[in-house]
Amino acid sequence: MLALWGALLWIGIARWERVLAAPSGAWDHRVAFATWILAIITLCGGSILQERRIHESRTMKGVGQWSLAWMAFRKSHVAVGAAITVMVFYLAALLTPFLAPFDPAVQGSLITERMLAPSLTHPLGTDQFSRDVLSRVLYGARISLTIGFVAVSISMTIGTVLGAVSGFAGGRLDSLIMRFVDMVISFPRLVLLIAIIAFFEPSIFLIVAVIGLTQWPQPTRLVRGEVLSLREREFIQAGKALGLSKTRLVLRHLIPNTMAPVIVAATLGIGDTIVLEAGLSFLGLGVQPPTASWGTMVADGRDNLLGAWWISTFPGLAIVLVVLSFNLAGDGLRDALDPRLRS
């Protein structure tokens, strides 16, 4: 908490010129500015609430599934730490325009500033174009985290809707959807990814779309399974008896109750997507310059692993840290949401 305060204040002091110029600047600067203000407000609000809570005596309210889960989640220090790490990374990604010491796309002198080892000016060194690695890692966070988030949102949305429809409708529609799922799952995904990305011009949108559109069968199966077991439960039967419309039943009652496993799957999925994008980068199919994802940076820097290890090691560590955090947080969430696993 203190560290966060420190970081926000440091931005205000050390980068005041950028902060002041931000509201009239490029969109990412405006986003960063808004984030900065919001973060400060949230922090203030949070502290006030905390103060109050300490003074107020706790009144026991009805404890729902989510607050139970939250209490269970808080018990696991590892999971909480991981969740905080993830949030810090997202915050850093949003605040990048204020944090990055250099412009990630500007090349320094190709003769004198090329592949410098980490130093005070360049804490993580410079790359083969004399660009500052720290700035690139920070800017890369935006790309990698966005890829993970958007691709998973796409696949989870499709998966949830299809799974719910399939499980609720049953019969022909169900078996049709499930055959389709079988087919997509059996599809050699890598062949598909490479073929599409190679044959069309590779761009970040294409990569996100392709990853998202090939990842939905797993959540579909997951949600369908949940729906099948929920369908026979009392509250749905009651809803049916009340004559609620099917759409309303599915949207308002079925889907919200399947969310727990979907959220867990999504958390884990973001991590997997970031690693998958790194793998594509290795084949030269990742996000293309000058925007660089962490995966691209690791892959492009790997030929210099022996000469200039910092070029690919730091973005690599960033991947490991974020993906690890997503996974730990996801595991914690799973344990917290599954009453059978609570110890």
Partner 1 sequence: MIAFVLRRVLASIPLVLGIATIVFFLLSLAPGDAASLFVSPNITPEVLEQMRRNMGLDQPVHVRYFRWMSAMLRGDFGISFSRNQPVADIIVQILPNTLILSFCAFLLAFTAGILVGVLQAVRQNRLTDSSLSVVGLFFYSMPSFWLALMLILIFSLGARNLWGWPIWFPASGMTSVEYPFMSPVEQLRDRVAHLVLPSVSLALVLAAGIARYMRGSMLEVIRQDYIRTARSKGLSELSVIFKHALRNGLIPVITLFGLYLPFLFSGTVLIETVFAWPGMGRLVVDAIFQRDYPVVMAGTFIFAIMVVVGNLVADVLYALVDPRIRYD
Partner 2 sequence: MRIRHVLGRNGVRGPAFVALTLLLSACGGGDSAGRALAGLPEFCQEVLPRVEAYLSQFEQPSGERYGGTAVVGTIGEMPDGMNALVSSDYSSSQHQSFVNLMTLIDFDEDFEPRPYLAESWEFDEEAETLTFRLRDDVRWHDGTPTSAYDVEFTFSRAIDPETAFPNAAFWTHYEKGPDAVEVLDSLTVRLKVAPHAELLDPWRATAIMPEHLLGDVPPAQLRQHPYGSRCPIGNGPFVFEAHQADASWSFVRNPAFPEALGGPPYLNRYVYRIIPEQTTLLTELLTENLDFYVAPGPDQTPQIESAERLELRTFQFRSYDLVGWNARRAQLADPRVRQALTLGTNREEIVQAIRRGFGEVANAGVPPYHWAFFEGVRDSLRYDPQRAAALLDEAGWIDRDSDGVRENADGEPLAISIKYNLGNQQREDIAQIMQAQLQPLGIAITPQVVEWGTLLNQINTPDIRDFDGVVIGWVTEFKLDDHDLFHSEEVDQPYGWSGTMDPELDRLLDTLQTVVDREEALPLWREYQYRLLDVQPYTYLYHIERLAGLNRRLQDVELDARGEWVNIREWWIPAELR
- Give the Cα separation of 291 and 217 in Å (integer): 30
Closest to partner 1 by CB, 40 vs 324, is 324
- Give the Cα separation of 256 and 52 in Å (integer): 32
Q: Cα 242 vs. chain centroid, distance in angstroms?
A: 40
Closest to partner 2 by CB, 157 vs 288, is 288
- Give the Cα separation of 334 and 260 in Å (integer): 8
Query: Which positions ≥6 away from 95 have C-beta within 8 Å?
Result: 11, 32, 35, 36, 39
Closest to partner 2 by CB, 167 vs 286, is 286
176 touches partner 1 (CB under 8 A): no
* Helix, strand, or coil (residue 126): strand
Binding string to partner 1 for residues 65 to 104, with x set by CB under 8 A, is what? -----------x-x--------------------------
Q: Which residues bind partner 2 (CB under 8 A)?
A: 106-107, 110-111, 114-115, 128-129, 197-199, 201-202, 283-285, 288-290, 300, 302-308
- Kindly report the CA angle at 249 between 184 and 224, in degrees rounded to 5? 25
Dihedral angle computed from the Cα positions of residues 221, 222, 228 and 233, in that order, rounded to the nearest 10 degrees: -170
**Which structure tokens are listed for 306?**
């022996």
Closest to partner 2 by CB, 82 vs 297, is 297
Residues of span 222-251 touching partner 1 by CB under 8 A: none
329 touches partner 1 (CB under 8 A): no
Q: Could you say which DSSP state residue 301 is in?
A: H
Closest to partner 1 by CB, 31 vs 324, is 324
Q: Could you say which DSSP state residue 132 is in?
A: B
- Give the Cα separation of 157 and 214 in Å (integer): 13
Query: To the nearest whole angstrom, how small is the minimum distance from the Cβ of residue 320 to partner 2?
Result: 19
Query: To the nearest whole angstrom, how small is the minimum distance from the Cβ of residue 178 to partner 2?
Result: 35
Q: Could you say which DSSP state residue 251 is in?
A: I
**Which structure tokens are listed for 74?**
């808080």
- Give the Cα separation of 2 and 43 in Å (integer): 10
Query: To the nearest whole angstrom, how small is the minimum distance from the Cβ of residue 252 to partner 1?
Result: 30
Question: According to CB under 8 A, which one of 74, 121, 182, 245 is a site residue for partner 1?
Answer: 182
Question: According to CB under 8 A, which one of 102, 257, 275, 304 is a site residue for partner 1?
Answer: 275
299 touches partner 1 (CB under 8 A): yes
Binding string to partner 1 for residues 124 to 153, with x set by CB under 8 A, is what? ------------------------------
Query: To the nearest whole angstrom, how small is the minimum distance from the Cβ of residue 316 to partner 2?
Result: 13
Q: Could you say which DSSP state residue 341 is in?
A: G
- Give the Cα separation of 114 and 336 in Å (integer): 49
Q: Which residues bind partner 1 (CB under 8 A)?
A: 76, 78, 179, 182-183, 185-192, 194-196, 198-199, 271, 275, 278-279, 282-283, 295, 298-299, 302, 305-306, 312, 316, 319-324, 327-328, 331, 334, 340-341, 343
